[in-house]
C-alpha cells in the first residue's frame, strides 16, 4: 500500500502557495501599506494557518522583493523609492519589448494565434467601461503578462516572474491618478495594433516607449507620493 505522506506534503505545499497568494494580493493592492510591520503570529491568526506555513509563504514573497525580514519573526512590507521605480520600469521595458518583438514576428508568420491577447484586451475594455479600477488594474497587468507568456521564451519568462509582483504594485499606483481608468484602453490600443501588424521591431519599439513613458510619469510623481 502506498504511503500517505506524499499526499500530505502536497497539501501543505498547496496551503503555503495559497497563503503566499493571499498575502501578495494584500500587498500589491496596498491593503498592507509599504512599511507595515507584519508578524508571523499576527498573520497566522488572520489566515487560520500555522506560523510555519506563514513563514514559508513570507519567504516566497521575500524572493519576490515584496517583504524584508526583521529580527524576532517580524517582517516589513517593502517600500519603493523613485530610483526603485525607475529601475523596475526600465527593466520592464526591456523585457516586454523583447517579448513584443517575438510575439509580433510569430503573429506575422502565422505561427501564433493572438486570440488570448485579444481576449485580454477585451477584458481590459470591459473593466474600464465599468470604471472598475480594481479590475482594470488586474486586466492591465494581465494583458502585459499574456504578451510575455505568448513569447514562449523560458528565460525571459523566468526573469519577468521575478519582478511581476513589484510591477503589479507599480501599476496599481500608476492607475491611482484621477481619470487613469478612462485612458487605459487608448493607451493599450497601439500596443495591440503593433502586435497584430506582425512587425517585431516596430512592436518592440512601441512597447518599450509605452512602458518607459509610464515610468517617467511615475518617477516625476514620486515626490508627491512619497516612498510607496
Under CATH, which architecture does the 5-77 domain have?
Answer: Orthogonal Bundle (1.10)
Q: Which fold has domain 82-225?
A: 1.20.120
pLDDT reading at 76 higher than 60: yes
pLDDT reading at 11 higher than 60: no
Q: Provide the sign of the torsion angle of the four alpha carbons 215, 220, 223, 225, taken in this order.
A: negative
Share of the chain above pLDDT 90, in %: 54
pLDDT reading at 59 higher than 80: yes
Q: Which of 47-51, 114-118, 185-189 has the lowest mean pLDDT?
A: 47-51
Q: Who's near 212: CB < 8 A, 6+ residues apart?
A: 89, 90, 93
Of 224, 212, 214, 204, residue with least CA distance to 96: 204
Q: Are 5-77 and 82-225 the same fold in CATH?
A: no
Cβ–Cβ < 8 Å for 44, 51: yes
| Residue pLDDT, tens place only, 135-180 | 999 999 999 999 999 999 999 999 999 999 988 888 888 777 778 8
Domain boundaries, the chain: 5-77, 82-225
Amino acid at each position: 500500500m502506498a504511503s500517505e505522506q506524499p499526499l500530505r506534503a502536497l497539501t501543505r505545499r498547496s496551503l503555503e502557495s495559497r497563503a503566499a497568494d493571499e498575502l501578495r494580493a494584500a500587498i500589491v493592492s496596498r491593503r498592507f501599506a509599504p512599511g507595515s510591520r507584519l508578524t508571523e503570529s499576527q498573520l497566522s491568526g488572520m489566515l487560520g494557518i500555522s506560523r510555519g506555513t506563514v513563514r514559508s509563504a513570507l519567504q516566497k514573497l521575500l524572493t519576490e522583493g515584496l517583504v524584508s525580514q526583521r529580527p524576532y519573526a517580524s517582517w516589513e512590507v517593502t517600500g519603493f523609492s523613485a530610483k526603485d521605480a525607475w529601475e523596475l520600469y526600465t527593466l520592464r521595458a526591456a523585457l516586454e519589448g523583447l517579448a513584443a518583438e517575438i510575439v509580433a514576428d510569430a503573429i506575422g508568420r502565422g505561427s501564433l494565434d493572438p486570440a488570448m491577447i485579444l481576449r485580454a484586451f477585451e477584458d481590459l475594455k470591459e473593466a474600464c467601461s465599468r470604471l472598475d479600477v480594481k479590475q482594470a488594474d488586474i486586466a492591465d497587468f494581465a494583458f502585459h503578462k499574456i504578451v510575455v507568456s505568448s513569447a514562449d521564451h523560458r528565460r525571459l519568462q523566468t526573469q519577468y516572474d521575478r519582478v511581476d509582483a513589484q510591477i503589479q504594485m507599480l501599476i496599481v499606483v500608476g492607475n491611482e491618478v484621477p481619470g487613469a481608468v478612462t485612458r487605459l484602453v487608448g493607451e493599450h490600443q497601439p500596443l495591440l495594433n503593433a502586435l497584430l501588424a506582425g512587425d517585431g521591431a516596430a512592436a518592440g519599439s512601441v512597447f518599450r516607449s509605452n512602458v518607459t513613458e509610464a515610468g517617467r510619469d511615475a518617477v516625476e510623481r514620486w515626490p508627491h507620493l512619497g516612498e510607496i
